[in-house]
Structure 1
Amino acid sequence: MSNSDKIKALIEKRQQARMGGGERRIDAQHAKGKYTARERIEMLLDEGSFEEYDMFVTHHATDFGLDKQKYLSDGVVTGHGTIDGRVVYVFFQDFTVFGGSLSKSYSNKICKVMDQAMKVGAPLIGINDSGGARIQEGVRSLAGYGDIFQRNIMASGVIPQISAILGPCAGGAVYSPALTDFILMNDQTSYMFVTGPKVTKTVTGEDITEDQLGGAQV
């Protein structure tokens, strides 16, 4: 393969990564009134400032057919950029890939930007849009949450930690934002709770909506 062929293949691979879970899932995200992870990057950061980490990372799971379902970036876009010229470290959860669910590879990417933010003393911003743990990975996924929570605690009082909830934030995904300094939520399309309306009804008998249980107004 010539150098020009390699460059062409790299460009195509980068474009594939930018498509997340594919056109159909991007359209579904838009139909819910939500932007994709990469659209949010363009809106938040200074133009041309974003430097992405680990764009080609995928998960390592093989059970439940996951070995045949791999997406570049694995559901979270991480890196650093600037806002009004100030350096910030960021992660953007991508709901178009496995509903934004967290795998071990995914958590490793988040931990990497958290470590870098603490090392240079820059703010950390997390854009949350996730259904929780990727249960097909079992305890590996849960261990990934533990790694993130530990860093939230280590970063407390050291750097600003900011969470924006722009979609579902359920189950294990709730705890990390709860440990940060600021939480922002979008009305109507975001909610936070450990267990959802169905579990609440089973345990308490109460009928309650997602917004009533953990919406922005709660």
Structure 2
Amino acid sequence: MILLPVLRRIIGLNGGIRMSHPDRAGSLQKAHGDLENSAGYRRILSLFDEGSFNEVDAYAKSGDGFAEAVAGSGTVDGCPACAFCQNPDVARGAMSKAQASKIKKIYQLALKAGVPLVGIYDSAGGRLDEGADMLAAYGEVLLAANSLSGVVPQISVVLGPCVGTGAVVAAGADVVVMSPKGELTISTEGGDGSPAAAEKLGVCQFAASDEKEALRTAKKLVSMLPSNNVSGAPLFNAVPAKTRTAAGASAREIIASVCDAG
């Protein structure tokens, strides 16, 4: 598959960190290792094929901790793809400059490689302590998402709260999948963002029975959709229908059947 080596070249990951202080590097790796047991990592690893995930900006910091999202690339049922996952176990997945930078980078990677982008949403909102910088972070993510529109498939998986500007980003994807705990609404003051309401509004295309089914649906979509706007859709062996003429019918009877009596 051509896209996979291209994706690997773009990433250019070396698998480790380079620091002038080995002790500091060791403590940082240990702290990050503890983070790998969080919901964000568990979800994104369940999306990708085992052993294929390459993380982007693994040690990105936000405040006194790590960034509130996990992002990277790999294969999904053998198909190259990129994804990010907001991590509710880190500052409740709140949007920050660091998270926006990570998400923006993975959007750019998906665009360059021409592969699908999956966004997994579960966030309490934005980091208010960042003030105007937090608002700018949302703007950067919106711009990055818009640059992918019509170029590569975008799939949103809403597994928790996704409100305000975050909901605008998620709803702008080509396909939206929601779990029962998902909440997708522009209103931050008690709007009905349930999967049922989102389906009724035409925002949610797939309402899953649980989180695992939601992620399985995203995996299936990645394997079914074309990778980008210049690749063809998958081809399947087609069996032509038997050649047969339609049964004869009276034109008068057809017209009478659609008209009022008399």
**Alpha carbons of 1:118 and 1:104: their partners in 2 closer, same or farther (altered >3 Å)?**
same
Task: Determine the structure 2 residue equivalent to 1:16.
Answer: 31
**Alpha carbons of 1:12 and 1:41: their partners in 2 closer, same or farther (altered >3 Å)?**
farther
Task: Determine the structure 2 residue equivalent to 1:215.
Answer: 194
Cα distance, 1:11 vs. partner? Answer: 5.2
Q: Secondary structure at the match of 2:143?
A: helix
- For 2:177 and 2:95, the matched residues in 1 are separated by 21
How many residues get paired? Answer: 178
Instruction: Tell me, yes or no, if structure 1 residue 116 matches structure 2 residue 95.
Output: no
Task: Determine the structure 1 residue equivalent to 2:54.
Answer: 51
Given that 1:169 and 1:193 are in contact with CA atoms closer than 8 Å, whether structure 2 keeps it comes out as: yes
Unaligned stretches of 5+ residues in structure 2:
1-18, 198-262
Cα distance, 1:12 vs. partner? Answer: 4.5
User: Given the alignment, which residue of 71, 74, 88 partners 2:65?
Assistant: 71
Cα distance, 1:214 vs. partner? Answer: 0.7
Unaligned stretches of 5+ residues in structure 1:
27-35, 60-65, 201-209
**Alpha carbons of 1:13 and 1:86: their partners in 2 closer, same or farther (altered >3 Å)?**
same
Given that 2:82 and 2:115 are in contact with CA atoms closer than 8 Å, whether structure 1 keeps it comes out as: yes
- For 1:94 and 1:87, the matched residues in 2 are separated by 22
Given that 2:84 and 2:103 are in contact with CA atoms closer than 8 Å, whether structure 1 keeps it comes out as: yes
Amino acid at match of 1:47: E
Amino acid at match of 2:183: Y
Measured against aligned partners, the alpha-carbon deviations of 1:32-76 in whole angstroms (never above 9, x if no partner) come to: xxxx011112211100101011111112xxxxxx5xxx222x110
- For 2:161 and 2:99, the matched residues in 1 are separated by 17
Cα distance, 1:109 vs. partner? Answer: 0.6
- For 1:142 and 1:154, the matched residues in 2 are separated by 19
- For 1:95 and 1:175, the matched residues in 2 are separated by 19
- For 2:166 and 2:50, the matched residues in 1 are separated by 29
Radius of gyration: which is bigger?
Answer: 2
Which TM-score applies when normalising by structure 2? 0.63
- For 1:185 and 1:195, the matched residues in 2 are separated by 18
Task: Determine the structure 1 residue equivalent to 2:125.
Answer: 132
Task: Determine the structure 1 residue equivalent to 2:73.
Answer: 80
Amino acid at match of 2:103: I
Instruction: Tell me, yes or no, if structure 1 residue 156 matches structure 2 residue 159.
Output: no
Measured against aligned partners, the alpha-carbon deviations of 1:115-163 in whole angstroms (never above 9, x if no partner) come to: 0100110100011000111111011111111111112111111000111
Q: Among the aligned pairs, what percent are the same residue?
A: 33
Which TM-score applies when normalising by structure 1? 0.75
**Alpha carbons of 1:85 and 1:10: their partners in 2 closer, same or farther (altered >3 Å)?**
farther
